[in-house]
Chains A and B, each alone.
Chain A
């Protein structure tokens, strides 16, 4: 029986080593996000301020002029999206490289013969990755706050308060933790790095697509069924996508949802990790159930898309169904080939 103290010690060892091993890439990502982007924002807002002052001088008033319909707004939004996208890409990268040792027999031999328990191994790596994920976000907020101190008008232009920005960041942090945990779950289930990323992308993009398509598919009208259209519901299985829509939905029930989501996937990952046998390293899929779900989603989505493409507008349901079946069959075969060779 390991005491709590030695359990923490082992976890700490693994955590520190994870930090040491992967800090170069984290440093680059952090530099990009935490320094470059806020600077970019600052320049954008500065530019708007110039325009604003110019307009005031020229016309004597700034009525009708708003940041949101100015020419710099586009760049501003690009910056915002860039932050989210970089963040998500880094989450996918961290979870894949930190848990990547499981995908090769040679590295599994070393890590699983080390005098640490599986739990310590999992937790140490998990918290290491989480550190990399959260620190840049915290830094961005810190730098943004500094910009606000030096340039208070920025928030007025955006019609925002520091309080709301703060809440937004907290929600984004929560989404990052959820997305990271979600990605770790895939890493634990996969047998190779290719599997990790392919299943992650297929399910994250596929499930929302599925719900959107299902909603639009005339098939549903056959039975008079309508699907709830609130956009966040489409992403409720993919924190990855939700995180890119950071401004859209931060109602408190979603906070609870994502918190529960994180906990569920955390414990699921821990459980599957401990159960996972060393011998599956390098083999495709540690747990085959994911393979079936992935293929199913891929086939159905592809089938629906092909069904949509090939059905002329206004046609009845039979043609749709036929195209759907054909499309799914083709997609399933292609998926079978791609996923089994795993280029």
Chain B
């Protein structure tokens, strides 16, 4: 269980995180979303003990992370641009990690080299960025961490490899309750994999919840009535958005889906259609409600 309590982190001229709090359950796949500079990478580095918070505290299973080798030996941080020692091969980097991570297993690396199209004697400098990411993922998984922190590590992977990685993660999550935290811009990608998400904006968490709960808390409705002259009063439901195209009303409603549909059907509409929003749509609606200019937030 990861707990972030009221964490503030400032760099020379910029405040990356302001009194940010969240908690991440063990065994979950947590998606961290936000724009560039929203504080995602900063949070990941705080969680892996690279940075230390100016205020507040970060604990994993009750222990602080910073300068705590016993906790850090159970986590692996994979940055967006992977670092490799000059002129090293995959095997050499593996030996580097093996020295410091007691849980590193070479058998696991051998197995992974059959699954990924990367040779163990390949040099990092001769690989494309996508292949370097794959190689680092191989090393990360060989360390068998309890907590895997990925900073946009999925971006740049081809669809075949993505499926392979999802399967490998599924194995580790179900076998040893590994917790995965993925920071990404790509909501579409996260939607398939995550069970919880948190949106970071301007150094704070806008919302943070279970993915299914989030998606089922909002309904998109298209509704039309026989009598088109009257303006319809949709009072009684929490409207996030209301637009009209011709005789068709487009509603975005927050609340329990079944209750909302039942309530709308009671108004005897000519046409009624309700669909669940995608993750991206949920964020857009919530952000519009809170008054943020969405164009600036989501890329």
Contact = CB atoms under 8 A, between A and B. Distances in A.
Would A and B touch once assembled, by the CB under 8 A criterion? yes
A104 B100 CA distance: 21
A166 B96 CA distance: 40
A21 B70 CA distance: 25
Interface string A2-40: 100010001001001100010000000000000000000
B70 A115 contact: yes
Given A106-B79, A106-B81, A278-B51, A113 B99 contact: no
A2 B83 contact: no
Contact of B83 (A10, A16, A106): A106
Identify the interface centre among B45, B50, B96: most chain A CB within 10 Å of its CB. Answer: B50
A110 B96 CA distance: 11
A116 B101 CA distance: 10
A108 interface: yes
A109 B49 contact: no
B99 A115 contact: no
A114 B79 contact: no
Interface in B53-99: 67, 69-70, 72-73, 75-77, 79, 81-83, 85, 96, 99
Nearest to B11: A279
Contacts of B67: 117-118
Interface residues of A, number: 24
Contacts of B75: 113
Contacts of A113: 45, 48-50, 72, 75-77
Given A115-B69, A115-B101, A17 B51 contact: no
Contacts of A104: 83
Interface residues of B, number: 24
A108 B50 contact: yes
A277 interface: yes
A47 interface: no
Given A21-B85, A277-B51, A279-B51, A10 B69 contact: yes
A106 to B, nearest CB: 4
Interface string A51-76: 00000000000000000000000000
A107 interface: yes
B102 to A, nearest CB: 8
A6 B75 CA distance: 19
A113 B82 CA distance: 13
Given A109-B79, A113-B49, A279-B51, A16 B69 contact: no
B72 A107 contact: no
B139 to A, nearest CB: 11
Interface in A97-114: 104, 106-110, 112-114
Nearest to A278: B50
Contact of A115 (B79, B82, B83, B100): B100
Query: Which interface residue of A2, A114, A116 has the most chain B CB atoms within 10 A?
Result: A114
Given A106-B79, A109-B45, A110-B83, A116 B69 contact: yes
Interface string B1-20: 00000000001000000000
Nearest to A281: B50
A13 B101 CA distance: 11
Complex A-B, nearest 4 residue pairs according to Cβ-Cβ distance, in ascending order: A115-B73, A106-B83, A115-B72, A115-B69
